[in-house]
Amino acid sequence: MAILEAKKTGTFNVRTAVWNAMLDADMNHIYWTCLSRRYYNREKSLQVFLALFSTSAVAGWALLIDVSLLWKALSTLSAGIAIVLPILNWKQQIETMSKLAGKWFHLKIDYENLWLDVQSSAPNGLVRQRFDKLREREVEISGSASNLPDDRDLADRASADVLKKLGLKGD
């Protein structure tokens, strides 16, 4: 948003824009990596839970015949999880999140390379041209995240991690 305003007012600074885009790409890489890991762990936990409860329910029929409420509860719970897991479709979301993390990582590297060019006083026109192409890629990447979960707290932590990593923010 700030870039659009800067373009309108004529105060666009390529150096600042590249720096901010590089930090944003790094933050997005961290964010999507953490989010995909979180959902991967959740899915695995539910699958293990389902496997344990399914087998426990079957074992309960023979071993816990006197405690019929327990095996009925385990059967109901495992059936509920078996129904909900495909609806949640976490496998597909995890795959998409992992791909996003990889794309953001590659974009981050490209912004870092562009930043090195900015630091070495490469011609502004060339830097601007490359920057615009990277921004187009960024728009494409961002579009594939529209149907995925959003965690603002995680995004804030990812931003803080990037700033801390660069020594721009204390603990």
Residue 86: inside a domain: yes
What is the pLDDT at residue 63?
Answer: 60
What is the pLDDT at residue 1?
Answer: 42
Average pLDDT, the chain: 86
Residue 13: inside a domain: no
What is the pLDDT at residue 10?
Answer: 58
- Number of domains forming the structure of the chain: 1
Rounded Cα–Cα distance for residues 130 and 136 (Å): 10
What is the pLDDT at residue 4?
Answer: 47
Q: pTM for the whole thing? A: 0.80
Rounded Cα–Cα distance for residues 115 and 23 (Å): 11
Residue 128: inside a domain: yes
Sign of the Cα pseudo-torsion (42, 92, 145, 32, in order): positive
Non-local (6+) Cβ contacts of 43 within 8 A are: 85, 88, 90, 91, 94
DSSP readout, 89-100?
THHHHHHHHHHH
Residue 8: inside a domain: no
What is the pLDDT at residue 58?
Answer: 60
Which tens digits make up the pLDDT trace of 120-152? Answer: 988 888 999 999 999 999 999 999 898 899 999
At residue 166, φ and ψ (nearest 5 deg) are -90, 0
Non-local (6+) Cβ contacts of 2 within 8 A are: 20
What Rg do the C-alpha atoms of the chain give, in angstroms? 24
What is the pLDDT at residue 2?
Answer: 47
Domain region containing 40: 21-165
Residues of the chain with pLDDT under 70: 1-11, 55-68, 70-71, 170-171
Residue 2: inside a domain: no
Spacing of C-alpha 76 from chain mean position:
33
What is the pLDDT at residue 82?
Answer: 86
What is the pLDDT at residue 85?
Answer: 87
**What are the strands, taking DSSP E only, across the chain?**
none
Spacing of C-alpha 170 from chain mean position:
24
Residue 154: inside a domain: yes
What is the pLDDT at residue 122?
Answer: 85
Residue 26: inside a domain: yes
